[in-house]
Chain A
Amino acid sequence: MSVPHPYAAFVEHFFAAYNCPVLEKGSTHFTVQLTSEMDEEIMNRPFYWHYMKKMGREGEPMRLTFTQTDGSQKQGIYLHAGTPKLHALYQTAINKGKTARLYERIPPENAGHTAVSPWLVVNFLLHYRGKQARDEPLSIGLNLIHGTMMLKMMEKLEMVPFGNTVSDYTFPMTPVISLSNAYRRMEKHVETYISSQNNQWAVESHQHLQRETALLESFYASEDIDLESFTKERDQMDTRYKPCIKLEVVNGGLFYISQETSAPWIHQKSR
């Protein structure tokens, strides 16, 4: 058995989630049949679909073969970190999975009128931008009844089953804390988190910016450059070096989770 290929696994999950069946599967490749909707979304052939619709015809969605090898063994889309099609799938996945309201699935025999409490789950991406760049993901959950905050939330939820509808014999509780309030608490937390981190990167960027600015100002003072290029250079120096952090939300949603599921995390946290 080979080590599971991360990109291949992602692609298979992706098509399974969006109802595109796998037609053939080998050890290092697989072929999927796209649905019309998926074809329209990822294949970038708007004219074809426009024409088909105008003619009142169904159109023939494509099949895609993905491989884990560089095409020497099997023709198809070679999956690696930079595969353009893979990046198109990322974008589609992100667009389609932006928001959610999910209820923990609890089998009726275990339900017995269980209350499920609402959590706001938000997956942040922190973009550190200065002389250099890096990102940091931050997944946070906040209980909308008693305000407990959990970190690494997605890791905790990973194996929990969720559905789009309320499971039988369970009842969702009404949030006490509003969404916007909860979100504000998360932002506060992120700010605290950032300020507790080593900010060497920002110091370096800042120093670099100051050195470059001083140099540029001396050029201007000694009339080596005119005002126009001085202003232009000055502006773009900020773009290149000025440290800042952009907070981006990848996705987030309202999750209803039973106490049985959440108790161990909360317990572990308080220990």
Chain B
Amino acid sequence: MFTIHPDQTFIHSLSSHLDHSEHLASWEGFKLAYQAAQFKTVPEFGGLLALDHLPHVDFMDHQVEAAETVVHHMNGRAILADEVGLGKTLEAGLILKEYMIRGRAEKVLILTPASLVNQWIQELNEKFYIRAASPRKKQASWKEWDVAVTSIDMAKRDHHREEILSQEYDFIIIDEAHKLKNHQTKNYQFVQSLKKTYCLLLTATPIQNKLSDLFNLVSILKPGYLGNLTDFKKKYQKHAQEEEHIQHIHSLVGQLMIRNRRKDTGLDSSKRRVRNERLTFTNEEAELYQSLEQLKADHPSFTWLTLAKELCSSREACYMSLNQLKKKAPPEKQAVYDDFIEALGRLPHHIKAERMVDLIKEKDEKFIVFTEYRATQFYLQWYLQQHGITSVPFSGKFNKSKRDWMKQLFQNKAQVMVATEAGGEGINLQFCHHMINYDLPWNPMRLEQRIGRIHRFGQKYDVNIYNFAVENTIEDHIMHMLYEKIEVFKNAVGDLDHILEQIPGGTFEQQIQSIVKQSESQGEMDIKLKNLVSYVEHTVNERRESS
């Protein structure tokens, strides 16, 4: 039934120590060693010993439950997919600590976006008393380090890769694992070839785009569990409408995944208030917006889409793209763009920028402003400065120390942080409770990630979200069609993400892109978008009724 591994060394060392009395202990010393071993003993199979070891951390009930489930029922391989801001890192740390205490994890590797490496090291040390190392410059000793934290990009570099792959890790944690959705990428293959016993995948948006993304995550934990990809896709597409089949996949995945939602945790004391602000272009702006339609004739419709979205954001963002187009165009055609550029130059300040400043002045509190464009980011900072409002920029491309510095400045000195989309992950700004979504992303889930930056544990106030959109523009459509109808703001996101993945014939995002690209007229686009949304609505309602 089981093997017994004897202690091979003890009796020999006792015999030799008896001849060399300097190695022998006193009675007190002997008793202390015995007592120390009692303290370190794992008394029972069940329960979480880590809780006694970490009395200074206030774990939430759902975090403790998640850890128990992963350790005792999922046997240490799981996807932790709590909604943003529910403390997945704490759950992962608690699970890791439990395995370390139980003597099952010594060699540990944590893969996380580069910007989060130091945050992880700090949390492990302060909250969990786990000392972790990370590679600096070219110095790394994967063999000696018991607990290492690094980014995948760093880990897969030539001089690290081989050594890491040769280590036998007891425990691997992969943060922001939704980035591993594509099984053809080098990152995915790297992760797949790591040697691991226990493994946690952390993601807030487990099914960001396709069910096949989920398939790929599951394959890291349990290869073969959902069959192979080709069959999986075939089955899934063929039977997508059959409730039974979907249920089957869900119940399979449910054995590997923990997903706590805000509404279930009952910890949602801070509410979110969402206001959609519809703004009207000035005549000049509206005119230019209309005239952009000319481009549809001899450009791919995607070009128009880009420029229209940009014009809704700022003159500067639109200018950057027009200038690019101009540079690529043959000399005789450049005049077209010059006209537009000139018209841009004549525009007054952007209507959204003005509204933003009004709002900030009215509340006189801290704001975080999200935009999709770097050019807009610069413009807004300049514009804020003109009005005597202090601001700091933020982007996911900043290195760790710059990020921390910006966060610090925002917390202590500046009133506003202007962030680009790339800054959406891994920064916690609970001290701020106003957010302006200056531009809206296509994918409603991305908005959820943004909101998660301020609406998370530690937020003491209700959170105010302002979504800007300009009337009668592409933005208006996004807002009207996607955001309002889908009720994304009412915390229904938990239901939503798998529904958005299960639309036959492509994901939500792809659907929108193709609708916008292929529609001949605004009217056609509206109808198609409406159809898409009502499909989603229908599915949501159906699910609600059945549950």
- A residues near B (Cβ < 8 Å) are 6-7, 10, 13-14, 16-18, 70, 78, 80-84, 87, 89-91, 93-102, 122-125, 127-137, 139, 154, 158, 161-164, 179-180, 183, 187, 190-191, 194, 199, 201-203, 206, 208, 215-216, 218-220, 222-225, 229-230, 232-233, 236, 239-254
Contacts and interface: CB of A to CB of B under 8 A. Distances in A.
Given A135-B42, A246-B5, A80 B223 contact: no
Given A97-B29, A101-B21, 16 more contacts: A10-B35, A10-B36, A90-B36, A90-B39, A90-B40, A100-B24, A102-B30, A131-B75, A164-B26, A180-B11, A202-B2, A208-B75, A236-B195, A239-B197, A245-B5, A247-B7
A163 B27 contact: yes
Contacts of B13: 98-99
Nearest to B40: A90
Interface stretch (B45-53, B454-462, B523-531): B45-53
Interface string B36-71: 111111111110011011111000000000000000
Contacts of B224: 215-216, 218-220, 224-225
A251 B311 CA distance: 76
A70 B56 CA distance: 8
A84 B76 CA distance: 24
Nearest to A250: B37
A240 B55 contact: no
Query: Most B CB atoms within 10 A — which of A70, A90, A162, A222?
Result: A90
22 contacts: A10-B36, A13-B35, A80-B52, A81-B53, A90-B37, A93-B32, A96-B33, A97-B25, A98-B13, A99-B18, A127-B103, A133-B103, A164-B24, A220-B224, A223-B228, A224-B227, A236-B195, A242-B2, A244-B3, A246-B4, A247-B6, A250-B34
Interface residues of B, number: 64
Contact of A236 (B21, B28, B46, B197): B197
Contacts of B49: 81
B4 A244 contact: yes
A51 to B, nearest CB: 23
Contact of A93 (B23, B33, B56): B33
A239 B38 CA distance: 25
B45 A133 contact: yes
A95 B13 CA distance: 13
A53 B544 CA distance: 74
Nearest to A7: B39
Contacts of B53: 80-82
Contacts of A241: 75
A244 B25 CA distance: 31
A93 B46 CA distance: 28
B55 to A, nearest CB: 5
B10 A93 contact: no
A158 B35 CA distance: 11
Most A-side CB within 10 Å, residue of B14, B26, B35, B39: B14
* In the complex, the 4 A-B pairs of residues with the closest C-beta atoms, listed nearest first: A82-B53, A97-B33, A219-B224, A249-B10
Interface string B89-112: 000000000000011100000000
Contacts of B25: 96-100, 251, 253
A161 B28 CA distance: 10
Nearest to A9: B35
B4 A245 contact: yes
A125 B5 CA distance: 12
Given A82-B55, A244-B2, A249-B10, A132 B72 contact: yes
B42 A236 contact: no
A191 B30 contact: no
B37 A123 contact: yes
Nearest to A200: B45
Contacts of A125: 37, 41
Give the secondary structure class of A's interface.
mixed
Contacts of B7: 124, 247-249
A137 B37 contact: yes
Contacts of B72: 132
Given A97-B34, A99-B24, A229 B29 contact: no
B355 interface: no
Contact of B55 (A70, A96, A224): A70
A165 to B, nearest CB: 10
Nearest to B49: A81
Contacts of A247: 4-7
Contacts of B225: 215, 219
Contacts of B50: 82
B15 A101 contact: no
B235 interface: no
A253 B11 contact: no
A152 to B, nearest CB: 12
A54 B198 CA distance: 46
Contacts of A135: 41-43, 103
Contacts of A223: 228
Nearest to A252: B14
B34 A154 contact: yes
B297 interface: no
Contacts of B31: 13, 97, 154, 158
B223 A183 contact: no
Contacts of A222: 227-228
B17 interface: yes
Interface string B489-505: 00000000000000000
B52 A82 contact: yes
A18 B25 CA distance: 11
Given A137-B37, A249-B7, A96 B21 contact: no
Contacts of B227: 219, 222, 224
Interface string B213-246: 0000000000111011001000000000000000
B196 A236 contact: yes
Nearest to A205: B2
Contacts of A139: 34
A13 B28 contact: yes
Contacts of B56: 70, 78
Given A127-B103, A135-B42, A100 B1 contact: no
Contacts of B44: 134
Given A90-B39, A244-B4, A97 B30 contact: yes
Nearest to A13: B32
A232 B17 contact: no
A91 B320 CA distance: 63
B129 interface: yes
Contact of B38 (A97, A137, A220): A137
A208 to B, nearest CB: 8
Nearest to B97: A82
A229 B223 contact: yes
Interface in B154-205: 192, 195-198
B42 A134 contact: yes
A80 B129 CA distance: 12
Contacts of A127: 103
A67 B525 CA distance: 69
A134 B223 contact: no
Contact of A240 (B36, B37, B195, B197): B197
